[in-house]
Amino acid sequence: MTERVFVSSRAATRTGVLLDAIRAADMVPITAYEVTTGESVGQSLREAIASVDYVIVVWDTQKLARSIMFEAGYALGVGTPVALLDVRASRGPVDDASIEALLNVPRLHGKLSDLAGLRRELLALRQVTFGGALPTDDDESLSRWYHEPPPRSDSSAEARVLDLFRRTEIAVKVERAAALAVPDWVVWAPSFAPPFNPVLVELVGLRGSLERKREQLRRALDDQGALIGVLIALDQVDSRVEIVRSAAIVQISLRQLEHQPSDLLVLLRHARNSLVHGRS
């Protein structure tokens, strides 16, 4: 059985490692980004929450956002198991009634940067909920995510990105933008009609300046009249979509892209729909 896990968190919360930990536990992470792509955001959320095996509420501030309480409350109402992941930097007294309503659900602890620790918590939750043995930390599913070495150079990363484009359905056409500083590639995404194709793709090197690359990509989008850009980072970053003026910039790590290529398609669709419907 492969459990599906809905992650309920603030938009500003960095959940990239948590999503990796869920995958390393052989579970499938689901986020609001992936399901709120239609006209009815609330209905899409309700259907997703009712269909998953768990809802993980990320508790990183003293008070939970209203959107998180809606998601957690709906899950409890339809009988979807809810767990509270406490990642607060300091654990002071709880004076929020919304938090008190969740104190009886299973509590997980960890840091959002600790993949191995988060995976252990998730596996313990699975054992409590469904039974079964706990895999050890040297299990292959963890080493796949946690011990993989980073690319040795930007050039080797470029080769890996191009190989990924060739052997997956992420792109139907790829051109090297050799004459330009930014982007690295011009890519045609499947099922995207103009003006959302082509997509400008830029690789951010090890310890590269993500903000500088984002600004350069934004300028390239303006100059070329494109609407969607993608930043692929060699360092670990959270996956997200940012609306900048009339364009959208998708951010994803190379590691996540290699392990779950479909995540990029999900983010691209979210970027397109956000531009169409005016959401960020």
Q: Consecutive sets of 10 residues in the chain, 280 residues long: mean pLDDT of each?
A: 85 82 86 70 85 91 84 91 85 61 81 84 79 47 42 66 79 72 86 88 80 91 93 86 90 85 85 77
4-146, CATH topology level:
Rossmann fold (3.40.50)
CA end-to-end span of the chain: 34
Round to whole Å and give the CA distance between 10 and 158. 32
Q: Determine the pLDDT at residue 161.
A: 86
Q: What is the pLDDT of residue 75?
A: 92
pTM: 0.52
The pLDDT value given to residue 200: 94
**CA atoms within 13 A of residue 114's CA, in its CB half-sphere:** 15
For the chain, domain boundaries? 4-146, 154-277
Could you list the beta-strand ranges (E) of the chain.
Answer: 4-8, 28-30, 54-59, 82-86, 107-109, 173-176, 185-188, 199-204, 228-233, 240-244, 247-253
Q: What is the pLDDT of residue 42?
A: 79
pLDDT of residue 199: 93
